[in-house]
Amino acid sequence: MVRLRVFAFVVSLLVWHVEFVSSLYANQAGVIDWHHQYIGTPKTSFFHKFVSRGAYVLVASDRNVLASINVRSGNLDWRQVFDENENILAFKGYESVAISVSKRDHDYIVRSWESHSGFMLWENRIKDVGVMNSNPSIEDDDAPGVEVVFAADNLGVLALLEGTTVVNLNFTDGNQIWRSDITDSSTVLYKLVEFEQKVYGVGLKKSIRSYTIEVNTYNISNGILKTQSLSSKIDHIKDMIVLGGTTQNGFIIWKEENNMRVNRLDTTVIEQAPLEALYGTVIPSFANANGKLELHDLNLESRTEFLVQVPTNEGNTAAVFKVDPVSGRLLVLYDFEEKPENSVYSATFDKSERLIISRSRITAEDVAKVDIIAPEPRLVLGSYEMNYSLNSYGDLKKSVLDVDSKATGYRMLVISADGSMHFWKDHEVVWKSEESLAHTIEAEFLDLPERKLWTQEVDELAEQPEEAETISPLARYIRRVRTHIEQLKDLPAYLIAYAQRFITGDYEVEPIQLARKSKISLHRDTFGFRKLLIFVTRTKLIALDTNNKGQIVWSRYFGNDIFEFNKIFVVRSSTVKYPPLVVAIGTQKDLKERIVTRLFRLNALTGENFIPTENKEHFPSELSIPIIIKRILKLPIEEPDERTHIIALIDEELKARSLKGYHVENNVQPFDVTEVWSFGFPEGESIAAIGHRPQHEKVASLGRVLGDRSVLYKYLNPHLIAVATLSTSTNPTSLNVYLIDTVKGSILHHAIHENVGSSQPVRIAQIENLVVYHFWSENFNEKGYVVVVYELYESETPDQRFESPVFTSFAHERPYVSAQAYMFPYGVNAIGITTTKHGIATREFLFALDTNQVFGISKRILDPRRPQRALTSEDKEEMLIPYDPAIPDNKKWVLSYHLSIAGIKNIITSPALLESTSLVLVYGLDLWFTREAPSKTFDVLSEDFSKGTLLITIFGLILGILITKPMVRKKKVNSRWY
């Protein structure tokens, strides 16, 4: 009997663990989820051609990513994502390899990559850079200070680091051949040029009132240094460029007072051209110049062509110059016409070494124009107009030009102001990549309106107030009948779509007639899987459709009016005749250079400013408030009289030492706020993480039923937030966790964890009566990652509740906190919790691991009430699991299967119409959307269920009955006769 009970208990445990498996069938991968890979805004990009694979674009981005992009499709062939604290400073290709230079902490790392595969060939970490020149006198964020040059003759890689150190590395294995450090703190190098076994480092030396040019010459074999100063006077590094090298001598071109001067490297000879001679006589378009000349390096390897751009009275213009390699004099190759639009330029050369240069500009709101020019012999090779949305992408910022492999056309990679990439070939847009999503600050789910009645799309009873008073009931009835008759043309398509959905059982299939109204078909589907994802990036808002693999519905660029967004709220969901609204919040400098907060109220279905027509005293669509907000918490509390909200503001995001609650006095401009409460943390404590309950969460049960049928009632405080702080005043560092009521600022619970690793981030999440947080512990007996879960109840005693029948934050009762800690196998970048329509399905905690995967753990595993003793019959009745101090590293719990989701910042969830399913969005550098069913899809028929088979079976039974019924009746009659 005992053995039978033990066997039954083991079987019950196995059955329970089956529910915790979150694995995915192979045929579902990529069907219920989609993954968008991004790289960020390119800092360095160039075309790299392979003999057997054609041309690709190699990119180094501001998100510290190296990537190879297929020019035909825009897909990533390979991608290398660096750590956030390792900045890529230089990236350059040569033959079949590419060299990157990055900086991590105080070390520079030079790596060699195989261009077509992205495999790392070698790595060299260079330490103590700048130690001998620890106080450079020249500081400029725009100056590179890092440069890579290939010495083809001796197979070397020359790297300039921090403007003070030059190293020569072996091209094959990366071993250091020699190194030279500048000891003079008044000199900083900016450019390297290699020619005839010499390496020239060109930089600036600080003088009393300006800078002078200094050239360091290195022997490429042993690094022996020779220094030369040129007679010069430069105000800024942007006034100087260095050209040439490799196959011909290099030249320094700089602007000094009213002259452009040229020096051939390794000589003291200086040629100069007066600027006055250029204005109007040599270059006619410069006649109306009214600003400062700007020198632009066209990045043409060893060539000596460059661009001079200047603002004019009517806009801007530019001219192409060339340094004659023999005489060293300046030659004007081409004079661009003066244009009112801002222009970007790029250049390349074709197979015959002919220089090709492009000028790109926005000529209309939806049109970009590209001119392709050969300066010698001054031919316009092509002029194309491209489709380009200024409202969605902003102005053009940068372009990279290339001649295709067959030399029959031109292709160009264009970077727009929002950070996106556009690939143009001749007169068509081949592809574009919305790289601004790599800088997502926040995202929100938006429920789409229900598609029930035609009146929700075309208001059949739309009447002006004057018309409503005069129209007769008969005329209104005739209008309704006419509208219904118009709908009959879609009846056949609807019947076909209905039959198709009925037979296949796929209720996500859109009816055929919806394809005819693509512009007005933004509505939810049968199961509520279709929603809009509203993203706020640094300078724009973007809406994606969850059902169409994340297709962009609308986007809007705000860069001309606002510097940076930091928050977005959905302030109204969809209702009949009223569109959903979102409010985007950002910061901007006013005319007095003061930072103000700006709010934009938008129609969430179109992205346009929302201005209601009914209410003349409406809330403005754009609003400026003269305050600085670092973090905003929209609290679910509203005063019944004035209907004003309580908001909590944090002084300094993630480093504040206090929390404050404010009360908004009025709802029109100017806004007045009154401080309600203030909570200061002890000296040495700073906020590390904050968690708060979702705004629209649903709670299915007010209590937890125990094994003896008694109930522990949940503590459901809508004003509760969880705050984690790190105390650096203590040694070792301690972690403090506060549960705070935001109505009156009181502490409901406080826990301290000693000996916590301050270098690892703290993550915290909250939902219903649950709080979960993750941190690194340095304790000897539990060193590693720890996850702690709280469960809050009104009382420790079952069946006992607070005396007040209505919850109020001003009551004196405090919750009972049941807590438990578990060792966790990974570091965590973000924590999310599944939400369902009614909150009936089991909660699942979603952890964004530092391995770029998403790990799902059922609430039954992270349960603070798991007993640390043998299970009793009541524990078994409650379906508890024995306590295990370590969370198992079960690969079946990885929701993202084999996908690598880079740079995860946050996880948000939203309920579908099915109670079993929660929609999950993971965003950071990449985007990943999926559906998760923590308790399995108990409210949906399985995929192998066939309605067609069921119908055939029913019809077969009916047919069998009809055939056999006369036979049975005849048999009964015959049995009576015989």
Alpha-carbon gap, residue 361 to 410, rounded angstroms: 16
User: Mean per-residue pLDDT for 885-892?
Assistant: 93
Output the six-digit token pair for 321.
């110059």
Number of continuous H segments (helices) and E segments (strands) in the chain = 8, 61
Confidence at residue 114, expressed as pLDDT on a 0 to 100 scale: 94
Could you tell me the sign of the dihedral formed by the alpha carbons of 226, 231, 232, 233, in that order?
positive
* Mean pLDDT computed over 969-974: 89
First to last CA, the chain: 61
pLDDT at 644: 33
Cβ(591)–Cβ(567) below 8 Å: no
pLDDT higher than threshold 80 for residue 137: no
- List the Cα angle 96/373/55 in 5-degree steps: 20
Give φ, ψ of 820 to 5 degrees: -155, 145
Q: Amino acid identity of 889? A: D
Tokens of 734: 């301690």
The domain limits of the chain are: 343-439, 462-503, 950-978
Tell me the pLDDT tens digit for each residue of 689-717: 999 888 778 898 999 999 899 999 999 98
Tokens of 975: 């049995």
pLDDT at 763: 96
Q: Which residues, 6+ apart, have CB-to-CB distance to 6 below 8 Å?
A: none
Give the C-alpha separation, 166 to 179, whole Å: 6
Residue 68: predicted pLDDT: 95
Contact by Cβ (8 Å): 856, 845: yes
Phi, psi dihedrals of residue 83, rounded to the nearest 5°: -65, 155
Structure token digits, residue 606? 């179109």
DSSP line for 61-82: ETTSEEEEEETTT--EEEEEEP
* CB neighbour list of residue 45: distance below 8 Å, 6 or more residues apart: 57, 58, 59, 60, 400, 413, 415
332 CB-near residues (< 8 Å, 6+ apart): 278, 282, 283, 319, 320, 321
962: Cβ contacts below 8 Å, ≥ 6 apart: none
> Percent of the chain beyond pLDDT 90?
47
Question: What pLDDT was estimated at residue 13?
Answer: 43
Question: Is residue 499 classed as helix, strand or coil in its secondary structure?
Answer: helix
DSSP collapsed to 3 states, 659-693: EEEEEECCCCCCCCEEEEEEEECCCCEEEEEEEEC
Give the bridge partners for 228, in sequence order.
Answer: 215
Q: How far is CA 446 from the centre of its chain?
A: 18
pLDDT at 505: 61
Interior/surface letters 531-563, b for 16+ CB within 10 angstroms, e for the rest: bbbbbbbbbbbbbbbbbeebeebbbbbbbeebe
How many angstroms separate the CA atoms of 37 and 621, rounded? 34
**Model confidence pLDDT, tens digit, residues 275-290:** 877 776 778 888 888 8
pLDDT tens for 87-136 read 999 999 988 899 999 999 889 999 999 999 999 999 999 998 876 555 44
Q: Does the pLDDT value for residue 146 go beyond 50?
A: yes
Going by C-alpha positions, the residue among 299, 225, 305 that lies closest to residue 44 is 299
Report CA 107 to chain centroid distance, whole Å: 28
Q: What is the mean pLDDT of the chain?
A: 84
Q: Does pLDDT of 722 surpass 70?
A: yes
DSSP string, 105-168: TTEEEEEEEETTT--EEEEEEE-STTSTT-S-S---TTS---EEEEETTTTEEEEEETTTEEEE
Check residue 631 and give its pLDDT: 59
* DSSP 8-class letter at 457: T
| Cβ(873)–Cβ(865) below 8 Å | no
Tokens matching residue 17: 């663990």
pLDDT at 951 over 90: no
Rounded Cα gap, residues 361 and 413, in angstroms: 14
Nearest-angstrom CA–CA distance, 552 and 519: 13
- Is residue 597's pLDDT more than 60? yes
Least confident of 361-365, 618-622, 863-867, 908-912: 618-622
How many Å apart are CA 698 and CA 194, to the nearest integer? Answer: 68
Give residue-wise pLDDT tens across range 527-582. Answer: 889 999 999 998 899 999 998 899 999 999 998 766 788 888 888 777 666 788 88
Res 1: pLDDT: 43
Provide the 3-class DSSP secondary structure of residue 455: helix
336 close to 317: Cβ distance less than 8 angstroms: yes
**Residue 643 clears pLDDT 50, i.e. is over it:** no
Q: Please tell me the predicted confidence (pLDDT) of residue 518.
A: 40
Tokens of 431: 């592809």
Reported as a pLDDT band with limits 50, 70 and 90, residue 3 is: very low
Mean pLDDT, residues 63-91 taken together: 94
The tokens 């398509």 sit on which residue?
Answer: 493
Average pLDDT over residues 804-818: 80
3-state class (DSSP) for residue 87: strand
Q: Are strands 828-833 and 844-849 parallel, antiparallel or unpaired?
A: antiparallel
pLDDT in tens, 217-275: 998 888 888 888 888 888 888 889 999 888 788 999 999 888 899 999 988 889 888 88
Strands 927-932 and 76-81: unpaired
Give the length of the chain: 978
The CA distance from 904 to 647, in Å, is: 28
Unique residue bearing structure tokens 């595993």: 861
**pLDDT of res. 976:** 84
CA 329 to CA 337: how far, in whole Å? 24
Mention every residue, 6+ apart, whose C-beta is less than 8 A from residue 703. 711, 712, 713, 714
Answer for the pair 460, 577: CB distance below 8 angstroms, yes or no.
no
Reported as a single tens digit per residue, the pLDDT across 837-853 is: 999 999 999 999 999 99
Given a contact cutoff of 8 angstroms between Cβ atoms, the answer to whether 588 and 562 are in contact is yes
Digit-coded pLDDT (tens) for 374-386: 998 888 888 999 9
| Region of poorest pLDDT, from 105-109, 367-371, 595-599, 942-946 | 942-946
Identify the residue whose tokens are 């209309």. Answer: 364
pLDDT digit string, tens, across residues 470-518: 777 888 788 878 877 887 887 887 778 777 766 666 655 554 444 344 4
Kindly state the DSSP code that residue 938 receives in the 8-state scheme.
Answer: T
Identify which of 263, 284, 281 has the alpha carbon closest to the alpha carbon of residue 272: 263
Q: How many Å apart are CA 271 and CA 283, to the nearest integer?
A: 19
pTM over 0.95: no
**Chain mean position to CA 916:** 28
Q: Single out the residue of 534, 516, 549 nearest to residue 448, CA to CA.
A: 534
Most confident listed range (47-51, 131-135, 305-309, 596-600): 305-309
